[in-house]
């Protein structure tokens, strides 16, 4: 190889590196913005509502700096009373998670909470979650084709009675 050819090869290689670098720089903001995380706190006025016997809800709140959450005693499967609904007006692929507070009593929390996702007019679920197994963690419910989706949690579980069903924040990534 002549010296000229070697120089040409070096220049081409350098040009290639520069081009790849430019492509990566150009794509990075898109890769980062492809997934946007929104967190809903259930205590906010919007994005949450609840039903059933009002006196059956109880709030756990250890002070202004601690995330409060609600709970209710469970019922046998098929006899639901209290329910909570979180929702968000988003469209496209979305991943839904819900938070289980670290302060739950894992001896009392239900092992068989039944979550449903409604997207458009389609119901998904139940997604049966062992709430007692997730203290202080985000529980993945799943990834869905989302069309203004809602996440529902009812108080009827399939682990009998004398268990608590907990309701806290949800996280929507899309
Ligand atoms: Ca909360
Ligand atoms: Ca009830």
| pLDDT confidence tier of residue 87, bands split at 50, 70 and 90 | very high
Report the predicted TM-score, pTM, of the whole model to 2 decimal places: 0.79
72 CA to middle of ligand 2, Å? 7
Nearest-CA neighbor of 99 among 147, 136, 57?
Answer: 136
73 CA to middle of ligand 2, Å? 7
Q: CA-CA distance, 106 to 165, in Å (whole number)?
A: 11
60 CA to middle of ligand 1, Å? 9
Residue 159 is encoded by which pair of tokens?
């682990």
Give the CATH number for residue 85.
2.60.120.260
68 CA to middle of ligand 1, Å? 4
**157, 101: one domain:** yes
Provide the β-strand partners of residue 162.
Answer: none
Q: Which of 53-67, 83-97, 158-172 has the lowest mean pLDDT?
A: 53-67
**155, 112: one domain:** yes
**118, 69: one domain:** yes
**46, 92: one domain:** yes
Please state the rounded mean pLDDT for residues 143-171.
Answer: 96
Ligand nearest to the CA of 70: 1
**80, 124: one domain:** yes
The neighbour count for residue 50, using CB atoms within 10 Å, is 15
Q: Which residues of 95-114 are buried (b: 16+ CB within 10 A; e: fewer)?
A: bbbbbbbeebeeeebbbbbb
Give the total number of structural domains in the chain. Answer: 2
Domain span at residue 102 reads: 37-173
pLDDT value for 44? 60
What is the pairing mode between strands 83-87 and 75-76? Answer: unpaired
173 CA to middle of ligand 1, Å? 18
**84, 26: one domain:** no
pLDDT value for 7? 67
Has residue 73 got a pLDDT over 60? yes
pLDDT value for 55? 97
| pLDDT confidence tier of residue 6, bands split at 50, 70 and 90 | low
Ligand nearest to the CA of 76: 2
| pLDDT confidence tier of residue 23, bands split at 50, 70 and 90 | low
**3, 84: one domain:** no
159 CA to middle of ligand 1, Å? 25
């Amino acid at each position: 190889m002549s010296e000229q050819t070697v120089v040409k090869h070096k220049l081409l290689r350098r040009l290639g590196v520069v081009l790849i670098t430019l492509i990566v720089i150009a794509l990075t903001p898109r890769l980062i913005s492809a997934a946007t995380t929104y967190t809903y706190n259930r205590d906010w006025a919007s994005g949450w509502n609840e039903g059933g016997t009002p006196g059956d809800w109880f709030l756990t709140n250890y002070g202004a700096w601690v995330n409060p959450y609600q709970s209710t005693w469970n019922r046998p499967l098929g006899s639901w009373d209290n329910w909570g609904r979180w929702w968000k007006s988003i469209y496209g692929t979305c991943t839904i998670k819900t938070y289980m507070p670290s302060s739950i009593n894992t001896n009392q929390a239900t092992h068989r909470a039944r979550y449903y996702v409604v997207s458009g007019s389609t119901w998904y679920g139940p997604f049966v979650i062992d709430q007692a197994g997730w203290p202080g963690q985000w529980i993945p419910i799943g990834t869905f084709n989302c069309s203004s989706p809602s996440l529902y949690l009812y108080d009827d579980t399939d682990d009998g009675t004398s268990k608590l069903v907990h309701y806290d924040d949800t996280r929507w990534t899309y």
